[in-house]
Structure 1
Amino acid sequence: MAKTNAVRLLDSWEIQYKLLDYEVDLEDLAAESTARKLNLASEQLFKTLVVRSNTNNLYFAVIPSNTQLNLKALAKLAGERKVEMIAVKELKSLTGYIRGGVTAIASKKDYPVYVDETIEVFERIAVSAGVRGTLIMLATQDYLQVVKGKIGAIALFTET
């Protein structure tokens, strides 16, 4: 795999990581499916979502793959009245990444990053490497340092 911007940034910070490759199914880009393919606990694979506030600020929300984003909790944490998901068609122009490959590491712009508090349960987590088909497994503290992540309760756990 060619090095992504995310991988190059981790290399420049001299951060240890492991790349995990998986088969991409365009019919099912769900992070939970990716976790299953790699035998990862779905709560250890964090998906990165992009939201826009009513004041037009953009934020990354990083939550476990088996959860949904609590928009109200994120808005409150970010000091906004309201936030909503951006349209998939806007992802590439705003972040440089496409759906299924979004990461807060080395995005086109350094938007504020909010991470669900459950991240602290794990020594290591997996996040997208910036392309579909590859994840980065790295130390949680390294990830939080690189993305300047702010921690809060922003995930909604749904019964499966």
Structure 2
Amino acid sequence: MKKTNAMRILEGLKIPYEAKEYEDNADHSLEKGAAERMAAKLGVSPEMVFKTIVMRTESKEICVFCQSAVSEINLKKARQAAGCKEINPVKTDELLGLTGYVRGGCTPIGMKKQFRTFIDKSIMNQEKVCVSAGQRGLQITLAPADLIKACKAQLCDLKL
């Protein structure tokens, strides 16, 4: 297994993690059931899987949000957390240039720049969580507090 930038950052911070590979079918659609399929491939509960959503405010600031994959992000709550009037997901074709990651492999750890990062407070209900390791077909499992530390995130309510 090739080490990703996210893994190197966690090792540099002396944060324990487990990397898990899974079969990636390159279908990174947002339809219902995707979290359940990912969790089944990893052998974990769907509530443990956290997705990374990159958004842009009306002032062009990039913000990163992590939400349980079984929940949708509430845009009103995302705007409140970021302190802005408008916020929208960045286009898929912009993701790599902004973050260094592709859709389906985007992680809040080790983006090209340190963007403000917000994680839904439900993460604290989990003993361990899974996030992308920075490439498709690879996830990192770690403690919620360690993820918060690694990406310098703020906890907030993002649930729809």
Fold match (TM-score > 0.5): yes
Separation (CA, whole Å) in 2 of partners of 1:51 and 1:77: 12
Q: CA deviation at 1:155?
A: 2.3
Matches of 1:28 and 1:141 in 2, distance apart?
Answer: 27
Instruction: Judge which range, 27-36 or 5-14, deviates more.
Output: 27-36
Match of 1:120 in 2: 124
Q: 2:53 aligns with which of 49, 53, 61?
A: 49
Q: Does 1:110 align with 2:136?
A: no
SS in 1 for 2:155: strand
**Gap runs ≥5 in structure 2:** none
Give, in angstroms, the shift of residue 12 of structure 1: 0.6
Do 2:28 and 2:103's aligned partners in 1 also have CA atoms closer than 8 Å? no
What is the Cα deviation at residue 27 of structure 1?
2.7
CA deviations on 1:55-100 (whole Å, 9 max, x unpaired) are 1111101000111111110111111111001100000000000000
Residue 149 of structure 2 corresponds to residue 145 of structure 1: yes
C-alpha separation between the residues in 2 aligned to 1:29 and 1:40?
Answer: 20
Q: Distance in 1 between matches of 2:40 and 2:87?
A: 30
Mark the runs of 5 or more structure 1 residues left unpaired by the alignment: none
SS of 2:122's equivalent? Answer: helix
SS at match of 1:69: coil
Q: How many residue pairs were aligned?
A: 156
* TM-score, scaled to structure 2: 0.93
Give the letter aligned to residue 22 of structure 1: Y
Q: Which letter does structure 1 place at the counterpart of 2:118? A: Y
1:97 counterpart = 2:106: no
User: Identical aligned pairs, as a percentage?
Assistant: 35
1:26 aligned to 2:33? no
Question: RMSD across aligned C-alpha pairs, in angstroms?
Answer: 1.2
Aligned partner of 2:10 in structure 1 is 10
C-alpha separation in 1, matches of 2:60 and 2:73: 18
TM-score (norm 1): 0.93
